[in-house]
């Protein structure tokens, strides 16, 4: 599994020169800042700073970009916790329990939990990458549309878990999200729901829509209040409480490890990545919990599940990039550009001829994880002061940042208009108790589910027996069914036991 | 219980939202079916649309049932009803700022398209601060100007796309 000669060479490369390390800390800071500002995504940060890598050697260039990737992976969780506005789609699950914790005055703890889960998740992702880089890449090649559809379907099942007060409201919101995601030109060339607007041919941009939905539901609700946390005593910024959060993370080892593995596996699938991984992990954790009703109300385990998965998916996406030369998402696509700028092509030949460089990248990322933890502690301490900023300044400022960020994502006015329109929808939905998160999940996964379902249908010719020829699909199907059925059986048994106990009293 | 008491308990906003969801779904379904009846085109949209319309109908019926039962409870609890009314009056006053803020946000987005990024951002920030109760107008103006200019400069530096500005 590990070539120890190449591993030794990797240590020599990394310890023999200070040059690769020079770019890591600035990279982490850039990632943290871009991730923490809603709308400014990690790929945007990497694309902006990509030209700088021309002047670097290959290894520092890749370490610089992975530092942005790593920093951004955690950074996006900060506004999700403090303001209920996920910096990117990968932090949607973090907001579910992180923000309720912040409202209870546990913002420092929530940030400590998110930072630790993120760093541990990222480290596990890279350990898995180091051990199984080749086998992971081979497994990815065996995945087809059936398996991809099942992964999307798994993520979509979270919709059912979100309408806890009124199941049908959650379902309406989620299904509306699926329909909105289908607007534009379909994979088979049909144009649907564009109302003649040429800008909608590419569909509704998901990230500006999610910013609008989350930002509206929260910022509009906060109008008239003075601070995010109403109790002055609870607004205190405490480094001690951040450390309490760090410690608290290790009370959830099962969630941490499961989330990390879900992240690395889902992250390895091209086109899926962190935005799906955090939802699947959150969903799996909530279903397996003995107290699922505590989720969404400030349950630390929810933050651990989402953050460990979205960070470990980085390791998975690097596996397909290094071993196959395939970018799993926008961030790794930018990294692929850096490869090309240095005349390097990822793939099996690159792996066999440059295993020492591959190990250097992986080991360099371990060091980045440790640095992220140290820098992150200081960063979250400063960032948590958001709760002390008066809302009359914070609300307009965040709106402007969201509008600018959405423009930078789409490159035209579709981004800002989308934020505005979905702001209104989000506010209305929240007012009448429709979970906006369910609509976001439908929006993020709907298009993928539809595309993969169509491809599965085309390949199989509509024969269900085709599924029996796909062992990975059968395993995912079994896991999916178990993840839905087991909590129902568990809940039924619990209710029965409670009834028996009540009768015996 | 009189018919008018049920009517006063109805929240037309919620019913309006359900109507918007249903209508938008119907329009989208019609548009999809007029494009093509191919299975690939309707494989997700047709079942999902029908389910949304069904759920909206169920939600509307159950909403009317809930409203009826809540009305009788409120009639039985006069004092509690009055307290709720005072609280909701405060809430209404607070919430009245929301539509104004929404309109301001809409004007801001229009301003980005038809005026300029820096000027529109300055105006949005300034009026939003004023709307939020900022009494120090000079400080508000300075804050708005500095933030608007800094963000516009940052955006100009960062993105390759053209956008209208006054100063950069």
Q: How many CB atoms lie within 10 A of CB A199?
A: 16
Is B79's pLDDT higher than 60?
Answer: no
What CA–CA distance (Å, rounded) separates A149 from A166?
Answer: 27
Task: Give B-chain residues touching A222 at CB under 8 angstroms.
Answer: none
Is B6's pLDDT higher than 60?
Answer: no
Q: 3-state secondary structure string, B78-144?
A: HHHHHHHHHHHHHHHHHHCHHHHHHHHHHHHHHHHHHCCHHHHHHHHHHHHHHHCCCCCHHHHHHHH
Q: Which of A169, A396, A449 sits opposite B128 (nearest CB)?
A: A396
* pLDDT value, residue B78: 56
CB A369 within 8 A of CB A123: yes
CB B94 within 8 A of CB A223: yes
Domain range for B68: 3-86
* pLDDT value, residue A398: 86
Asked if B74 and B104 sit in the same domain, the reply is no
Domain annotation covers residue B7: yes
Asked if B64 and B39 sit in the same domain, the reply is yes
Asked if B147 and B111 sit in the same domain, the reply is yes
Average pLDDT over residues A277-301: 88
Q: 3-state secondary structure string, B61-75?
A: HHHHHHHHHHHHHHH
Q: Residue B101 has which token pair?
A: 């803020």
- Across the interface, do A172 and B101 touch by the CB < 8 Å criterion? no
Which of B16, B39, B45, B62 to mutate against chain A (most A CBs within 10 Å)? B45
Residues 6+ apart with CB under 8 A from A159: A170, A171, A173, A174, A175, A177, A438, A441, A442
Q: Which residue of A has its CA nearest to B59?
A: A168
- The CA radius of gyration of chain B, in Å to the nearest whole number, is 24
Q: What is the pLDDT of residues B133-163, one digit of tens each?
A: 888 999 999 999 999 999 999 888 878 888 9
- Across the interface, do A186 and B39 touch by the CB < 8 Å criterion? no
Q: Which residue of B has its CA nearest to A421?
A: B106
- Across the interface, do B36 and A190 touch by the CB < 8 Å criterion? yes
Domain annotation covers residue B48: yes
Q: What is the pLDDT of residues A306-329, one digit of tens each?
A: 999 999 988 888 887 887 777 767
Nearest to A402 by CA among A75, A86, A107: A86
- Across the interface, do A450 and B58 touch by the CB < 8 Å criterion? no
Q: What is the pLDDT of residues A253-267, one digit of tens each?
A: 999 999 999 999 888
* pLDDT value, residue B123: 96
Q: Which of A48, A391, A400 sits opposite B124 (nearest CB)?
A: A400
For residue A9, give the 3-state DSSP assignment: helix
- Among the three residues B86, B114, B138, which one is the final residue of a domain in this structure? B86
- Across the interface, do B155 and A404 touch by the CB < 8 Å criterion? yes
Asked if B8 and B82 sit in the same domain, the reply is yes
Q: Which of B17, B58, B159 sits opposite A168 (nearest CB)?
A: B58
What CA–CA distance (Å, rounded) separates A398 from A317?
Answer: 31
pLDDT band at residue B106 using 50, 70 and 90 as cut-offs: very high
pLDDT band at residue B3 using 50, 70 and 90 as cut-offs: very low
Is B10's pLDDT higher than 70?
Answer: no
Q: Which residue of B has its CA nearest to A433?
A: B14
- Across the interface, do B41 and A423 touch by the CB < 8 Å criterion? no
Nearest to A401 by CA among A34, A121, A128: A34
Q: Which of A182, A395, A412 sits opposite B44 (nearest CB)?
A: A182
Domain boundaries, chain A: 4-469
Nearest to A397 by CA among A37, A84, A70, A91: A37
Q: Residue A345 has which token pair?
A: 């092509």
Residues 6+ apart with CB under 8 A from A35: A41, A42, A45, A71, A72, A73, A74, A75, A76, A77, A78, A87, A88
Q: What is the pLDDT of residues A90-144, one digit of tens each?
A: 888 999 999 999 888 898 999 999 999 999 999 999 898 888 876 776 777 777 8
- Across the interface, do A432 and B13 touch by the CB < 8 Å criterion? yes
Task: Give B-chain residues touching A220 at CB under 8 angstroms.
Answer: 98, 101-102
Domain annotation covers residue B110: yes
Chain B: give the shortest CA distance to residue A120, in Å.
32
Burial of B7 (0-12, 13-18, 19+ CB in 10 A): exposed
Q: Which residue of B has its CA nearest to A393?
A: B129
- Across the interface, do B38 and A190 touch by the CB < 8 Å criterion? yes
- Across the interface, do B97 and A224 touch by the CB < 8 Å criterion? yes
Domain annotation covers residue B53: yes
Is A58's pLDDT higher than 90?
Answer: no
Q: What is the pLDDT of residues A270-283, one digit of tens each?
A: 767 777 888 889 98
Q: Which residue has tokens 């049909």?
A: A190
Domain annotation covers residue B115: yes
User: Which of the pair, A55 or A173, is modelled with greater confidence?
Assistant: A173
User: Which of the pair, B153 or B168, is modelled with greater confidence?
Assistant: B153
Chain B: give the shortest CA distance to residue A234, in Å.
23
- The CA radius of gyration of chain A, in Å to the nearest whole number, is 22
The partner residues of A192 in beta bridges, in order of sequence, read A184
Which of B50, B105, B147, B168 to mutate against chain A (most A CBs within 10 Å)? B105
Q: Work out the widest C-alpha separation in chain B, in whole angstroms.
A: 66
Quote the number of domains for chain B.
Answer: 2
What CA–CA distance (Å, rounded) separates A463 from A457?
Answer: 8
Chain A: give the shortest CA distance to residue B83, in Å.
21
- Across the interface, do A400 and B98 touch by the CB < 8 Å criterion? no
* pLDDT value, residue A245: 93
Task: Give B-chain residues touching A175 at CB under 8 angstroms.
Answer: 48, 51-52, 55
* pLDDT value, residue B166: 87
Average pLDDT over residues B108-117: 94
Q: Which of A182, A223, A400 sits opposite B101 (nearest CB)?
A: A223
Asked if B82 and B103 sit in the same domain, the reply is no
Task: Give A-chain residues touching B101 at CB under 8 angstroms.
Answer: 220, 223
* pLDDT value, residue A251: 94
Q: Which residue of B has its CA nearest to A405?
A: B155
What CA–CA distance (Å, rounded) separates A144 from A459?
Answer: 10
Q: Quick one: CA dihedral A469, A475, A478, A483, positive or negative?
A: negative
* pLDDT value, residue A236: 76
Task: Give A-chain residues touching B55 at CB under 8 angstroms.
Answer: 168, 171-172, 175
Q: What is the pLDDT of residues B25-41, one digit of tens each?
A: 999 999 999 998 898 89
Q: Which of A176, A192, A396 sits opposite B129 (nearest CB)?
A: A396
């Amino acid at each position: 599994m590990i070539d120890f000669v190449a591993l030794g060479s990797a240590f020599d490369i990394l310890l023999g020169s200070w040059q690769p390390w020079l770019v890591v800390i600035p990279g982490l800071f850039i990632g943290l800042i871009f991730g923490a500002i809603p709308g400014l995504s990690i790929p945007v940060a990497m694309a902006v700073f990509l030209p700088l890598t021309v002047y670097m050697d290959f290894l520092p260039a890749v370490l610089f970009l992975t530092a942005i990737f790593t920093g951004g992976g955690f950074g996006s969780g900060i506004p999700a916790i403090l303001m209920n506005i996920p910096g990117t789609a990968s932090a949607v699950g973090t907001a579910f329990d992180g923000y309720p914790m912040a409202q209870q005055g546990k913002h420092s703890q929530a940030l400590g939990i998110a930072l630790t889960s993120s760093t541990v998740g990222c480290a596990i992702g890279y350990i898995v990458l180091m051990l199984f880089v080749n086998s992971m890449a081979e497994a990815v090649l065996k995945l087809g549309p059936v398996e991809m559809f099942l992964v999307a379907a798994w993520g979509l099942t979270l919709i059912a878990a979100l309408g806890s007060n009124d199941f049908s409201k959650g379902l309406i919101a989620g299904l509306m999200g699926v329909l909105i995601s289908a607007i534009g030109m379909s994979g088979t060339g049909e144009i649907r729901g564009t109302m003649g607007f040429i800008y909608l041919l590419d569909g509704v941009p998901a990230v500006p829509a999610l910013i609008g939905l989350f930002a509206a539901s929260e910022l509009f609700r906060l109008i008239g209040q003075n601070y995010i946390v109403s109790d002055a005593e609870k607004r205190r910024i405490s480094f001690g409480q951040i450390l309490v959060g760090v410690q608290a993370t290790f009370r959830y080892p099962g969630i941490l490890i499961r989330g990390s593995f879900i992240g690395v596996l889902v992250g390895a699938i091209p086109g899926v990545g962190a935005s799906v991984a955090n939802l699947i992990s959150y969903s799996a954790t909530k279903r397996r919990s003995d107290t699922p009703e505590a989720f969404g109300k400030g349950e630390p385990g929810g933050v651990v599940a989402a953050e460990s998965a979205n960070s470990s998916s980085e390791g998975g996406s690097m596996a397909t990039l290094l071993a196959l030369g395939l970018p799993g998402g926008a961030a790794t696509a930018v990294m692929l550009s850096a490869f090309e700028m240095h005349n390097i092509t990822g793939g099996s030949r690159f792996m066999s001829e440059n295993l020492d460089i591959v190990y250097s990248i992986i080991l360099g990322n371990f060091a980045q994880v440790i640095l992220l933890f140290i820098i992150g502690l200081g960063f979250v301490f400063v960032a948590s002061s958001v709760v002390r900023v008066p809302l009359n300044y914070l609300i307009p400022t965040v709106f402007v940042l969201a509008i600018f960020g959405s423009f930078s994502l789409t490159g035209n006015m579709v981004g800002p208009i989308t934020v505005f329109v979905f702001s209104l929808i989000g506010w209305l939905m929240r007012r009448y108790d429709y979970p906006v998160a369910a609509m976001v999940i439908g929006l993020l996964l709907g298009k993928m589910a539809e595309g993969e379902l169509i491809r599965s249908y085309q390949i199989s010719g509509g024969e269900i027996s085709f599924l029996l020829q796909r062992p990975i699909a059968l395993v995912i199907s079994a896991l999916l069914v178990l993840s839905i059925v087991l909590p129902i059986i568990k809940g039924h048994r619990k209710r029965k036991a409670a009834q028996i106990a009540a009768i015996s009293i | 219980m009189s018919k008018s008491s049920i009517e006063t308990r109805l929240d037309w906003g919620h019913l309006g939202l359900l109507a918007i969801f249903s209508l938008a779904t119907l329009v989208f379904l019609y548009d999809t079916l007029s494009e093509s009846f191919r299975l690939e085109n309707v494989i997700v949209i047709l079942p999902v649309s029908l389910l949304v319309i069904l759920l909206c109908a169920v939600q509307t019926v159950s909403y009317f049932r809930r409203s009826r039962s809540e009305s009788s409870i409120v009639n039985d609890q006069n004092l509690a009803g009055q307290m709720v009314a005072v609280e909701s009056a405060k809430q209404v006053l607070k919430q009245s700022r929301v539509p104004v803020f929404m309109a301001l946000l809409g004007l801001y987005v229009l301003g980005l398209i038809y005026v300029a990024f820096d000027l529109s951002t300055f105006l949005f920030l300034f009026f939003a601060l004023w709307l939020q109760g900022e009494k120090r107008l000079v400080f508000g103006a300075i804050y708005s100007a500095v933030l608007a200019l800094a963000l516009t400069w940052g955006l100009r530096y960062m993105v390759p796309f053209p956008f209208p500005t006054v100063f950069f």
